[in-house]
């Protein structure tokens, strides 16, 4: 009940800013992967939000005063129903003949739980009283007894005040995840994951061309992780929060097939590289804090000011500053939120009533390590370049031709968010990244600083949304330029949504020396691809209330045929007549409120020409068409509101088609065929 109230008040206070998309059991224009999906679904179920006559939520449309008045009254009635229900529970317990002690205990326990949920209502009721005053005229025109409403809220505030005086000083919640991965070989060949790891092999002996194909009972790993979130409950003054994590999912340098593990297969750079070929295995048990910070809100010279200090995190934009999702088979908000961890602080300045916000973040990016010595979120930036015929880029784990790569030890960033009326917003950012150490001991570093800057514009034209942006990365060694051209990326696209279907069309170009610490997707095994340009398109359709079809396509070629290398000479990367295409399709079916099933496919096709070795040779006959295929079957089951069980069976079929550089694990195996089975049980508390 407390969560529902907070969601409802949040919607009333910030009405008109939620982005629309598609979903089931919700407003048709809100998607199941939207950050506000669960809140909106619950508010719709509780009658707090009813939408428009056509059934849509229209989150980008500003709400009128009358619509806000309706929402305020709905929240009030919801509160009244809750408190009336509590009294009914008390009366029932008083009048019940105490025949069954267990039933009586259960009724008292439920009543106690409901009363405890009321302990955090103080600020929410105060806000609701303010809203009742602000919308008094509109509420009265709707036939609402405004004076009676105010009296009820005042009485409720007194009752809640007594409860809050007895609540615990801290709040504790978290999640437990049990995760299994089993790999099987096919035709005496290992399979391959989308992050370039082998499955269906004996992990202890897989190295280069040597491997032992095995089944799922042998290539089996069992992971576990507990995340415990603790936060203060004080209403005034600074607040604090911490998330302590323990488990065996972090990679380490001591286990078989090192660096292996699950989260770390070596250091994850921002640019894609070549896989280490290490399979999955359980790591040593580790304990660490994923966040530990103090935050507070105040004002400076009449303007709003907020601060969060300690171990905190921040992100801006996929093409500027966003942590890659390095766990494609594991779903967890703490790892999938895209925020980079820093030991420092984030300061926020809020200007006027227009919603303008200016953030400053700064801190150390390393070393944040667990008890087993693994760095939690290593950030490497710089340039990795690739030419067809070289060992192909795979996963997020190194390789390629390194011209200027270094680990980031500290960062300083500025981020300005400017609302453009009710229809759009503009984000601008400038970030400095610096290294205090070389890439490896005894290796002379080519660079130690990078500046990332750019912006993103979003604008709504009714059902159509525009999204476009530009970013650039300048790399230096001290004050000396190392990379200052052929180092930008831009993208632009349009998205259309209605109650039944939606579609996007876009175009992007990413230079070969672009090196932002971001997360702009993957093409098969190639994560954060560079030296590509081409169109993208996607569509999703609600075939029925239970059946949804999604599909996407991307068609890329090289940016141009040659570039001046930062280290001297000429670099020949992807040519303009080299092509790589990616296609995906997913069919999802919701069997009922508990069960859902999905079927998906991902195809990546390469069309490569001869890579020139000397200036002036920029094309040649076709030398190969490597192909990458993955087929997915997923099954999900909601055990309860707080527990979910997910299964994934993935079949891989990777074929180098005779291209030596495309052999998946740097060996004589031209193909990788096999399967991966994953099971994840998530329990929240």
**What CATH number is attached to the domain comprising 522?**
2.40.160.10
pLDDT of residue 17: 32
Q: At residue 497, does pLDDT exceed 50? A: yes
| Structure token pair of residue 501 | 């279907």
Regarding whether 516 and 416 lie in a shared domain, the answer is yes
- Site of tokens 């979130």: 229
Regarding whether 218 and 125 lie in a shared domain, the answer is no
Q: At residue 96, does pLDDT exceed 80? A: no
Regarding whether 479 and 525 lie in a shared domain, the answer is yes
pLDDT of residue 268: 38
* Buried b or exposed e, range 532-568, using 16+ CB within 10 angstroms: bbbebebebebeeeeebebbbbbbbbbbbbbbebbee
pLDDT of residue 587: 98
- Site of tokens 């190969």: 624
pLDDT of residue 9: 44
pLDDT of residue 250: 81
| Structure token pair of residue 403 | 């011209």
pLDDT of residue 438: 53
End-to-end CA distance of the chain: 15
**Lowest-pLDDT range, 309-313, 416-420, 445-449, 645-649?**
445-449
Which of 87-91, 254-258, 324-328 is modeled with the greatest confidence?
324-328
The last residue of one of the domains, among 128, 150, 167, is 167
- Site of tokens 């399967």: 675
The last residue of one of the domains, among 167, 184, 204, is 167
Write 567-573 long-range contacts (CB < 8 A, 24+). 567/403, 567/404, 567/446, 570/615, 571/385, 571/387, 571/512, 572/387, 572/611, 572/612, 572/613, 572/618, 573/385, 573/386, 573/387, 573/512, 573/531
Query: What are the helix (H) ranges across 191-274?
Result: none
Regarding whether 418 and 350 lie in a shared domain, the answer is yes
Q: Quick one: three-class SS letters along 474-541?
A: EEEECCEEEECCCCEEEEEEEEEECCCEEEEEEEEEECCCCCCCCCCCEECCEECCCCEEEEEEEEEE
Q: Find the Cα–Cα–Cα–Cα dihedral 626, 324, 34, 418, rounded to 10°.
A: -120
Regarding whether 249 and 299 lie in a shared domain, the answer is yes
Query: Does residue 30 belong to any structural domain of this protein?
Result: no
Which of 159-168, 192-201, 633-642 is modeled with the greatest confidence?
633-642
Query: Residues 225, 247: contact at Cβ < 8 Å?
Result: yes
Query: Residues 346, 312: contact at Cβ < 8 Å?
Result: yes
Domain range for residue 12? 2-16+62-167
Regarding whether 346 and 217 lie in a shared domain, the answer is yes
pLDDT of residue 71: 67
Q: At residue 538, does pLDDT exceed 60? A: yes
Residue 292: CB atoms within 10 A of its CB come to 16
Which of 234-248, 371-385, 553-567, 631-645 is modeled with the greatest confidence?
631-645
**Lowest-pLDDT range, 133-137, 242-246, 284-288?**
133-137
Query: Does residue 550 belong to any structural domain of this protein?
Result: yes
Regarding whether 150 and 233 lie in a shared domain, the answer is no
pLDDT tens digits for 300-356?
766 788 999 999 999 999 999 999 887 889 999 888 999 999 999 999 998 877 789
The per-residue pLDDT of the chain, averaged, comes to 78
Kindly indicate the confidence band of residue 396, based on its pLDDT and cuts at 50, 70 and 90: low
| Structure token pair of residue 240 | 């604090």
Q: What percent of the chain has pLDDT over 90?
A: 41
Query: Does residue 135 belong to any structural domain of this protein?
Result: yes
Of 112 and 303, the structure prediction assigns the larger pLDDT to: 303
Query: Does residue 310 belong to any structural domain of this protein?
Result: yes
Query: Does residue 26 belong to any structural domain of this protein?
Result: no
pLDDT of residue 63: 57
Query: Residues 394, 271: contact at Cβ < 8 Å?
Result: no
List the Cα angle 66/72/76 in 5-degree steps: 145
Q: How far apart are CA 509 and CA 520, in angstroms?
A: 12
Query: Residues 429, 412: contact at Cβ < 8 Å?
Result: no
Regarding whether 444 and 312 lie in a shared domain, the answer is yes
Tally of domains in the chain:
2
Of 455 and 47, the structure prediction assigns the larger pLDDT to: 455
Regarding whether 341 and 220 lie in a shared domain, the answer is yes
Regarding whether 267 and 137 lie in a shared domain, the answer is no
Of 534 and 52, the structure prediction assigns the larger pLDDT to: 534
Q: At residue 2, does pLDDT exceed 60? A: no
Query: Residues 399, 408: contact at Cβ < 8 Å?
Result: no
Q: How far is CA 351 from CA 13, 238, 298, in A?
A: 18, 21, 13
**Lowest-pLDDT range, 21-30, 239-248, 568-577?**
21-30
Q: At residue 12, does pLDDT exceed 50? A: no
- Site of tokens 């009030």: 76
- For the chain, how many residues are written? 685
DSSP state of 167: S
DSSP state of 269: B
Closest alpha carbon to 241 in 172, 317, 319: 172
Q: How far apart are CA 61 and CA 363, in angstroms?
A: 38
The last residue of one of the domains, among 134, 167, 200, is 167
pLDDT tens digits for 468-489?
999 999 999 888 898 999 999 9
pLDDT tens digits for 27-77?
666 665 555 555 556 556 655 555 656 666 555 556 566 566 666 666 666
Query: Does residue 245 belong to any structural domain of this protein?
Result: yes
Regarding whether 137 and 74 lie in a shared domain, the answer is yes
pTM: 0.75
Of 85 and 147, the structure prediction assigns the larger pLDDT to: 147
Q: At residue 215, does pLDDT exceed 70? A: yes
């Amino acid at each position: 009940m407390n969560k529902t109230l907070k969601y409802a008040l949040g919607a009333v206070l910030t009405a008109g800013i939620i982005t629309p998309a598609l979903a089931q059991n919700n407003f048709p224009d809100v998607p199941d992967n939207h950050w506000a999906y669960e809140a909106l679904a619950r508010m719709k179920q509780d009658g707090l939000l009813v939408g428009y006559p056509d059934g849509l939520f229209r989150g980008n449309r500003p709400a009128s005063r009358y619509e806000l008045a309706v929402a305020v009254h709905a929240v009030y009635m919801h509160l009244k129903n809750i408190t009336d229900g509590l009294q009914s529970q008390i009366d029932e317990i008083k009048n019940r003949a105490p025949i069954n002690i267990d039933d009586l205990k259960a009724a008292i326990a439920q009543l106690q739980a409901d009363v405890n949920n009321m302990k955090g209502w103080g600020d929410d009721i105060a806000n609701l009283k303010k809203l009742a005053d602000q919308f008094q005229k509109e509420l009265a025109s709707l036939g609402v007894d405004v004076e009676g409403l105010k009296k009820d809220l005042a009485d409720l505030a007194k009752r809640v005040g007594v409860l809050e005086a007895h609540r615990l000083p801290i709040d504790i919640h978290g999640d437990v995840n049990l995760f299994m991965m089993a790999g099987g070989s096919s035709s005496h060949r290992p399979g391959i994951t989308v992050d370039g790891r082998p499955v269906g092999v004996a992990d202890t002996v897989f190295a280069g061309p040597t491997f032992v194909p095995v089944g799922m009972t042998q290539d089996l790993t069992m992971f576990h992780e507990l995340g415990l979130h603790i936060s203060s409950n004080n209403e005034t003054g600074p607040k604090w929060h911490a998330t302590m994590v323990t488990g065996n999912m972090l990679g380490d340098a001591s286990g078989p097939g090192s660096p292996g593990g699950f989260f770390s297969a070596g250091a994850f750079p921002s640019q894609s590289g070549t896989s280490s070929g290490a399979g999955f295995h359980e790591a040593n048990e580790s304990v660490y804090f994923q966040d530990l910070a103090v935050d507070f809100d105040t004002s400076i010279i009449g303007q709003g000011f907020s601060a969060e200090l300690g171990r905190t995190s921040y992100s801006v934009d996929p093409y500027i500053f966003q942590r890659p999702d390095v766990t494609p088979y594991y779903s967890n908000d703490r790892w999938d939120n895209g925020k980079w961890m820093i030991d420092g602080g984030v300061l926020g300045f809020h200007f006027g009533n227009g919603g303008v916000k200016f953030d400053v973040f700064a801190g150390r990016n390393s070393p944040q390590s667990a008890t087993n010595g693994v760095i939690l979120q290593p950030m490497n930036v710089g340039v990795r370049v690739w030419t067809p015929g070289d060992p192909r880029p795979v996963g997020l784990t190194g390789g390629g031709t390194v011209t200027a790569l270094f680990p980031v030890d500290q960062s300083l960033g500025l981020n300005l968010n400017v609302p453009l009326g009710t229809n759009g917003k503009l984000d601008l950012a400038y970030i400095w990244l610096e290294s205090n150490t070389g890439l490896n001991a005894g290796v002379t570093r080519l660079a130690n600083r990078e500046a990332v800057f750019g912006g993103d514009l979003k604008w709504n034209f009714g059902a159509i949304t525009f999204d476009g942006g530009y970013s650039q990365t300048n790399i230096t060694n001290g004050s000396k330029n190392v990379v200052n051209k052929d180092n930008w990326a831009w993208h632009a696209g349009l998205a259309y949504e209605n109650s039944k279907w939606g579609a996007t069309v876009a175009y992007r170009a990413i230079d070969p020396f672009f090196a932002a610490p971001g997360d702009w997707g993957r093409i098969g095994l190639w994560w954060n691809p560079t030296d590509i340009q081409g169109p993208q398109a996607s569509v999703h359709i609600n075939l029925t209330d239970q059946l949804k079809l999604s599909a996407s396509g991307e068609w890329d070629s090289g940016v141009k045929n040659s570039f001046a290398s930062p280290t001297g000479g000429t670099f020949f990367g992807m040519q303009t007549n080299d092509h790589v295409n990616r296609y995906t399709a997913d069919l999802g079916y919701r069997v009922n409120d508990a069960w859902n099933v999905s079927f998906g496919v991902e195809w990546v096709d390469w069309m490569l020409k001869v890579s020139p070795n000397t200036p002036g040779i920029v094309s040649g006959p076709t030398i190969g068409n490597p192909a990458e295929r993955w087929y997915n079957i997923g099954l999900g089951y909601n055990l309860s509101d707080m527990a979910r069980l997910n299964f994934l069976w993935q079949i891989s079929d990777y074929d180098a088609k005779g291209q030596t550089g495309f052999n998946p694990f740097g060996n004589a195996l031209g193909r990788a065929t096999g399967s991966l089975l994953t099971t994840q049980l998530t329990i929240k508390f």
